[in-house]
Amino acid sequence: MLKVVSTDQVRLGMFIQELKGAWMDHPFWKKAFKLEDLADLKKLQASVIKEVVIDIAKGLDVAEMVVVDAPPLEVPEVAVPKDVAPTTIATPKLARVTAEVERQQARKVISASKKAVVTMFNEARMGKAVNAEAAKQVVDDIAASVARNEGALISLLRLKNKDDYTYMHSVAVCAMMIALAKELALTEDEAKVAGMAGLLHDLGKAAIPNDVLNKPGALTDDEFTLVKLHPERGHALLLKAEIAEEAVLDVCIHHHEKINGTGYPHKLKGDEISLFAKMGAVCDVYDAITSNRPYKDGWEPGVSLQRMAQWAGHFDDVVFKAFVKSMGIYPIGSMVKLKSGRLAVVTDQSPKSLLTPIVKIFFSTKAKSRIPIEMLDLSKPSAQDTIVGHEDPILWGVHDIDKIWSL
């Protein structure tokens, strides 16, 4: 027998048949399950879901439980991330600007950040310690850009040059870690720590020969073994620089761990992996697969998220879902097909809904040709069009998609 109850009434031992609400608001990927883990209960009651459907034939009923006076459950801020709707970091809020406006400032931030990271890597190669103050300034500048518009700088960083990948990847992961921390409702200080962890997570690659890092073909077994040493070598470099923040050290050495225990270097699994390392794993992979590399071209952003969602056992479910929210279901730069049969590229997110971004229409699938560019805010009632799905630009012969949205 099915029964609708409020999340306040949910207790361990109940069988959750359905969570009421949009799928992106759910704290779990699984649709039906018996609630037996206290951490899962905390995630549910901390989420925006107000009601669930329980099956009393498979688990406890509300009437079966003894109600006692007890203090409310306390949800740790970091150990158990809150899966909630987008939340602002507790800091004086900068006015949000459009992606088009922020891109002008973001380009300056990217240029300055690249110089700082190149210097950082070169000094590490020469055995010098990391300049912590310079790194902190980079994180502060990136955090300010993300606060003004969460997607402008991140989307531009995807357009990095193949030769600059190692350096700009660090900048991109820094920005995504800050945006993800904001989505997980972490504090301002925690967001800055996450950003620093992202900026320094790949420092160990300074100890790997460039001809291996930038090799255009497949790595040999020996070369791959060498590359896999970069987390431990980076950890050693950070200790030498007297970087004492535990989360920064942890992300550096554990950002290649996987939830199912098949990652490296320590084959950690599940809750053995810290929240910050789980965040680092998602951000690191997303930037890697969406960027043009010496040996392959990057995947389209929206398609990348879809593929990552299918990699069972790779990422933490709650962290990955929060990452999707922070990037947008249709990230900037994604090509989408509209109900009208037109193709468009996402240029900005709408504050109203993840499903109704601002797009630039440029192609008719009916005529199979380019059409005059039209900007459309899908969140407005006057839009009279909706997204029906992601599209691969290559399949339509579109080879300048990045030029279309970024100009």
pLDDT in tens, 304-350: 999 999 999 999 999 999 999 999 999 999 999 999 999 999 999 98
Q: How far apart are CA 375 and CA 155, in angstroms?
A: 18
- Domain hosting 132: range is 99-327
Same domain for 207 and 288, yes or no, is yes
Same domain for 125 and 242, yes or no, is yes
Same domain for 173 and 311, yes or no, is yes
Task: Name, in order, each residue with C-beta under 8 angstroms of 368's C-beta and a sequence gap of 6 or more.
Answer: none
> What's the number of domains the chain is made of?
3
Query: Given pLDDT bands bounded at 50, 70 and 90, which one contains residue 31?
Result: low
Same domain for 128 and 254, yes or no, is yes
Query: Given pLDDT bands bounded at 50, 70 and 90, which one contains residue 25?
Result: low
Mean pLDDT of all residues belonging to the chain: 87
If one counts every other C-beta atom within 10 angstroms of the C-beta of residue 397, the result is 8
Same domain for 287 and 378, yes or no, is no
Mean pLDDT, residues 245-249 taken together:
95
Give the range among 54-68, 265-279, 282-296 with minimum mean pLDDT. 54-68
More confident position, 2 or 338: 338
Same domain for 304 and 342, yes or no, is no
If one counts every other C-beta atom within 10 angstroms of the C-beta of residue 179, the result is 28
Same domain for 232 and 298, yes or no, is yes
For residue 265, is the peptide bond before it cis, meaning its omega torsion is within 30 degrees of 0?
yes
8 A C-beta contact, residue 232 and residue 201: no
**Is residue 70 domain-resident?**
no
* Cα–chain center distance at 32: 26
Same domain for 282 and 153, yes or no, is yes
Among candidate residues 64, 86, 113, the one where a domain is terminated? 64
**Is residue 201 domain-resident?**
yes
More confident position, 30 or 73: 30
Same domain for 174 and 255, yes or no, is yes
Instruction: Determine phi and psi for 406, rounding to 5 degrees.
Output: -85, -15
Closest CA to 40 of 69, 19, 65, 58: 19
Question: Does 70 have pLDDT greater than 60?
Answer: no
Terminal alpha carbon distance of the chain: 57
The pLDDT of residue 71 is: 36
**Is residue 166 domain-resident?**
yes
**Is residue 53 domain-resident?**
yes
> What does the CA dihedral 84, 89, 93, 96 come to, rounded to 10 degrees?
-50
Among candidate residues 64, 91, 109, the one where a domain is terminated? 64
The pLDDT of residue 72 is: 35
